Amino acid sequence: MVLGSRFWVLGSWFSVLGSIHKREFRTTMNEFRKEYTLHGLYEFDLHPSPFMQFHAWFEQARGGMAEPNAMTLATATADGRPSARTVLLKGYDEHGFVLYTNYESRKGMELQQNPWAALLFYWPHLERQVRIEGRVGQVEAAESDAYFQSRPAGSRLGAWASPQSQVIASREVLEQNLEQLTARYGDENISRPPHWGGYRVSPLRFEFWQGRPNRLHDRLCYVLNSDGTWRIERLAP
Ligand SMILES: Cc1cc2nc3c(=O)[nH]c(=O)nc-3n(C[C@H](O)[C@H](O)[C@H](O)COP(=O)(O)O)c2cc1C
pLDDT digits (tens, 9 = 90+) for 151-163: 999 999 999 999 9
Q: Which residues span the domain enclosing 220?
A: 34-150+194-234
Q: Is the pLDDT of residue 48 over 60?
A: yes
> Which of 65, 67, 87, 104 to mutate to test ligand 1, by most ligand atoms within 8 A of the CB atom?
87
In a domain, 128, yes or no: yes
In a domain, 52, yes or no: yes
In a domain, 56, yes or no: yes
Q: Considering the chain, what percentage of its residues have pLDDT values greater than 70?
A: 91
Better-scored residue on pLDDT, 141 or 22: 141
Predicted local distance difference test score (pLDDT) of residue 25: 85
Atom of ligand 1 nearest to the CA of 106: 27
215 catalytic per annotation: yes
Predicted local distance difference test score (pLDDT) of residue 78: 98
Strand partners, 93: 96
Handedness of CA 145, 146, 149, 151 (dihedral sign): negative
Ligand 1 contact, 101 CB (< 6 A): yes
Ligand 1 contact, 69 CB (< 6 A): no
Ligand 1 contact, 76 CB (< 6 A): no
**Which has the closest alpha carbon to 100: 55, 53, 54, 158?**
158
Residue 136 CA, distance from chain mean position: 14
Ligand 1 contact, 160 CB (< 6 A): no
**Which has the closest alpha carbon to 178: 156, 145, 203, 210?**
156
What residue owns the CA closest to ligand 1's atom 10? Answer: 101
In a domain, 25, yes or no: no
pLDDT digits (tens, 9 = 90+) for 53-80: 999 999 999 989 999 999 999 999 999 9
Q: Are 117 and 136 in contact (CB under 8 A)?
A: yes
Better-scored residue on pLDDT, 189 or 46: 46
User: What CATH number should be reported for the domain holding residue 218?
Assistant: 2.30.110.10
In a domain, 45, yes or no: yes
Ligand 1 contact, 162 CB (< 6 A): no
**Which has the closest alpha carbon to 163: 109, 200, 116?**
109
Q: Are 216 and 237 in contact (CB under 8 A)?
A: yes
In a domain, 175, yes or no: no
Q: Is the pLDDT of residue 97 over 80?
A: yes
Average pLDDT of the residues in 179-183: 94
Q: Report if pTM > 0.75.
A: yes
Average pLDDT of the residues in 212-223: 97
Lowest mean pLDDT of 21-30, 75-84, 140-149, name the range. 21-30
Residue 142 CB-half CA count within 13 A: 0
Characterize the bridge pairing of strands 82-93 and 230-234. unpaired
Read off the pLDDT band of 4 (50, 70, 90): low
Average pLDDT of the residues in 182-190: 86
- Please enumerate in sequence order all residues whose Cβ is within 8 A of that of 138, keeping only pairs 6 or more positions apart, or say none: 103, 144, 197, 198, 199, 200
Given 23, 26, 33, 215, the catalytic residue: 215
